[in-house]
Amino acid sequence: MITIEKVDTTSKKQVNEFVEFPFRIYKGVKEWVPPILSDIKLMLNSQKHPFYEHSDAEFFVARENGEMLGRIALLENKPSNKYHDKKQACFYLFESVDDFAVAEKLFNFGFEWAKKRKLNHVLGPKGLSSFDGYGFLVEGFDKRQMMTMMNYNLPNYPQFAEKLGFKKIVDWVSCYADIPNFVLPEKVKAVAARVEEIGKFKVVRFNNKNDLKKWAWRIGQAYNKSFVNNWEYYPLTDNEIRFVLNNIMVVAVPDLLKIITYKDEAVGFLLAFPDISAALQKYQGRLSPMALISYMQELKKTDWVSFNGIGILPELHGMGGNALLFNEIFKSANSHNFKHGELTQVAETAKEMRKDLQNLGVLPYKNHRIYGKDI
């Protein structure tokens, strides 16, 4: 008989079991990239993760005869629900052996969990912060996961969700750029040059992390403003902004992060990161001294770059800001000897951005889907 047990997040043993369960599921799957284990443990720490300052999350495992067969996180994001006038729960960190009965037991428990909180909709996968990655992978199973900036799963997970009555809410498409053949139209270059010449728009570039840290808070504020029209946006708290920025700083290469200002106010940003997936796979997401050295080395030698944060204030889209942004993407892509680029998880609702990417010749090659179900 399959039973559901709540994880005692003060128990090191139970937390470790929850965090390390995916290694069993993805054993031998070369496309899966282990997360940094301490980051997942932090999600279970209500004393340290800023999500718990305003919202609730609980973690559960499925067992049969004492053996762990699956897991799930259930979340109530109260500011998001208030902002959108919704009553929805989110699920995240779902993993299961290839047995629908396990998935069914976990999700049915999740539906009851949500109903007890007077919530009427369940949505996911959707995590605790903006950089947790959205959705179940539904296309691109043969492509390696881009670090921990997105989720990876086997094809049975979306099948489980659909069998349980979940429906598509929104897709997040990731696009591939063959950088040696990535050509920016001359018209875009000309508009970008003209915009900079006029001088109202400027690009702030960074030479080192000290320069970057001086601008960190303004990056966060620009991030908070630029996604106001995006799917499921809600204003991040100051502590959530700090949390995201601290995570960014760990893998930041200063000259790949840029800020766009308009009349000296931060209005847009470009966040690009060298892909350290190979090192994360080698050291299984652990933070030993040797692993840290390997992660730093991989930042310098990888030929993959992820653009996982591109935005500009909506009201400035028609004033040349987009051209300036794409010109900087082109420059960053052609630095550091990168050969491959990924524009990671662009929502299908961001129609203008999707259109611009098509015009640049980048190709969709992965698709993540957010699912929802009324309960």
pLDDT, tens digit, for every residue of 359-373?
A: 667 788 999 999 999
Mean model confidence pLDDT for the chain: 88
Residue type for position 351? K
**Per-residue confidence band for 353, with pLDDT thresholds at 50, 70 and 90:** low
In the predicted model, what is the mean pLDDT of residues 115-124?
97
Give Cβ neighbours of residue 50 (< 8 Å, ≥ 6 apart): 129, 237, 239, 240, 242, 243
- Using one digit for the tens of pLDDT, what is the confidence trace for 49-67? 999 999 999 999 999 999 9
2-171 against 177-366: fold identical? yes
The CATH topology of domain 177-366 is: Aminopeptidase (3.40.630)
So what's the pLDDT on residue 350? 64
pLDDT at 211 over 90: no
Task: Give, rounded to a whole angstrom, the gap between the first and last alpha carbons of the chain.
Answer: 25
pLDDT at 286 over 80: yes
93 closest CA partner among 116, 121, 59: 59
Domain spans of the chain, in order of start: 2-171, 177-366
So what's the pLDDT on residue 162? 98
pLDDT at 281 over 90: yes
* % of the chain exceeding 70 in pLDDT: 94
In the predicted model, what is the mean pLDDT of residues 121-137?
90
Residue type for position 339? K
Give Cβ neighbours of residue 72 (< 8 Å, ≥ 6 apart): 59, 60, 91, 92, 93, 94, 106, 107, 109, 110
Q: What does the alpha-carbon distance between residue 123 and residue 134 come to, in Å, rounded to a whole number?
A: 11
Q: What does the alpha-carbon distance between residue 317 and residue 262 come to, in Å, rounded to a whole number?
A: 12
Residue with the larger pLDDT of the pair 279 and 229 = 279
- Using one digit for the tens of pLDDT, what is the confidence trace for 236-248? 888 888 887 777 7
CATH number 3.40.630.30 is the correct assignment for the domain at 2-171:
yes
**Per-residue confidence band for 186, with pLDDT thresholds at 50, 70 and 90:** confident
Give Cβ neighbours of residue 152 (< 8 Å, ≥ 6 apart): 26, 29, 31, 32, 33, 137, 145
Token pair, residue 131, equals 């950089």
Alpha helices, DSSP H only, in 26-73? 37-43
Q: What does the alpha-carbon distance between residue 101 and residue 187 come to, in Å, rounded to a whole number?
A: 56
